[in-house]
């Protein structure tokens, strides 16, 4: 990967809400900004309510693309020999779409379709409910050291308003929320993977009963374990 990639750059995109605002006007919701603000638990219930969901309108206001937080991926490798070991580490990482701080959109597939259609309409982005990235990298692990990989993945953040129309059975309610997921990239790679190594003296204890079944030991002196056991290092 090129070393001149700005990992901290944030790309701002501004949706064209002309068609969505026309829809709001058509259903008598031009004054949506004055609606009362609902709770996240209320929105969570409405997302799976087939009677309510048709009256929800999703209006994105700001979209940003950036590299998400660094986190371990693939297998960690412990080299207990006195020679450098070149080890190929395979990794896989999945990013799902979430609305709000913790609401997974998987429960309301048709609502996700509404979100996807709104983002496509206003920004021509292809939003995914779930995206998996994978690859393999050869990592040299020095003698008596352990190595692992971390990944920062391209992430899309969507600041938006979810608007519940006024009807004879529903009051006008709105939620201002931020959703995250994957909707392509801004010209930078989808993944930024970094190889790390440290002396075995700094290795956390992996001998507990809850982790023993996750560790494999090879005859070449290399021990493999899920890198997520390292936590933030």
Domain assignment present for 27: yes
pLDDT at 106 over 90: no
Per-residue pLDDT, averaged over 100-123, amounts to 75
Q: What is the pLDDT of residues 135-192, one digit of tens each?
A: 999 989 999 888 899 999 999 999 999 999 998 778 899 999 888 999 999 999 999 9
229 by DSSP, 3-state: which? helix
CA terminus-to-terminus distance, the chain: 22
Question: Where residue 41 falls among pLDDT bands split at 50, 70, 90?
Answer: confident
Q: Is residue 2 part of a domain?
A: no
Q: Using the predicted structure, report yes or no on whether residue 224 has a pLDDT greater than 70.
A: no
Q: Please state whether the predicted TM-score (pTM) of the whole model is above 0.75.
A: yes
Q: Residue 144 and residue 34: Cα distance in Å, rounded?
A: 64
Domain membership of residue 201 (yes or no) is yes
User: Is 71 part of any domain?
Assistant: yes
Q: Which domain holds residue 66?
A: 11-230
Q: Answer yes or no: is 119 within a domain.
A: yes
Instruction: Concatenate the DSSP letters of all residues of 25-78 into one string.
Output: HHTT-TTGGGSEEPPHHHHHHHHT-TTTGGGEEEEEEEEEEEE---EEEEEEEE
Residue 222 has pLDDT above 50, yes or no: yes
Q: How many domains does the chain have?
A: 1
Residue 89 dihedral angles phi and psi, to the nearest 5°: -105, 125
Task: Assess if residue 1 is contained within a domain.
Answer: no
Report if residue 6 sits inside a domain.
Answer: no
Encode pLDDT of 60-69 as tens digits. 999 999 999 9
Question: What is the average pLDDT across 199-207?
Answer: 70
Phi, psi of 54 (to 5 degrees): -65, -15
Q: Are 158 and 87 in contact (CB under 8 A)?
A: no
pLDDT of residue 92: 94
**What one-character-per-residue DSSP string does 19-34 give?**
HHHHHHHHTT-TTGGG
- The verdict on residue 182 lying in a domain is yes
The average confidence (pLDDT) of the chain is: 85
Q: How confident is the model at residue 51 (pLDDT cuts 50, 70, 90)?
A: confident
CA atoms of 72 and 195, how far apart (whole Å): 10
Residue 129 has pLDDT above 50, yes or no: yes
pLDDT for 52: 86
What is residue 46's predicted lDDT score, i.e. its pLDDT?
Answer: 85
Does the pLDDT at position 195 exceed 90?
Answer: yes
| pLDDT reading at 101 higher than 50 | yes
CA dihedral 5, 88, 131, 157 (to 10 degrees): -30
Q: Which residue has the higher pLDDT, 203 or 128?
A: 128
Q: Which residue has the tokens 């660094």?
A: 70
């Amino acid at each position: 990967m090129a070393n001149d990639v700005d990992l901290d750059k944030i790309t701002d995109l501004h949706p064209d809400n002309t068609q969505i605002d026309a829809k709001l006007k058509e259903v008598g919701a031009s004054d949506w900004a004055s609606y009362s603000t609902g709770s996240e638990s209320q929105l969570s219930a409405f997302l799976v309510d087939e009677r309510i969901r048709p009256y929800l309108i999703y209006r994105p206001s700001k979209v940003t693309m950036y590299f998400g937080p660094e986190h371990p991926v693939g297998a960690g490798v412990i080299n207990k020999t006195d020679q450098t070991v070149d080890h190929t580490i395979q990794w896989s990482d999945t990013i799902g779409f979430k609305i709000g701080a913790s609401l997974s959109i998987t429960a309301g597939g048709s609502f996700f379709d509404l979100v996807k259609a709104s983002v496509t309409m206003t920004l021509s982005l292809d939003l995914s409910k779930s995206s998996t990235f994978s690859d393999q990298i050869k990592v040299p692990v020095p003698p008596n050291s352990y190595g692992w990989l971390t990944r920062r993945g391209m992430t899309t953040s969507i600041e938006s308003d979810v608007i519940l129309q006024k009807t004879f059975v529903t009051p006008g309610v709105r939620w201002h929320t931020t959703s995250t997921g994957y909707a392509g990239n801004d010209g930078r790679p989808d993944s930024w993977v970094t190889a790390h190594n440290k002396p075995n003296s700094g290795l956390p204890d992996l001998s507990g009963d809850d982790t023993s079944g996750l560790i494999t030991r090879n005859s070449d002196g290399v021990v493999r374990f899920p890198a997520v056991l390292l936590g933030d290092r």
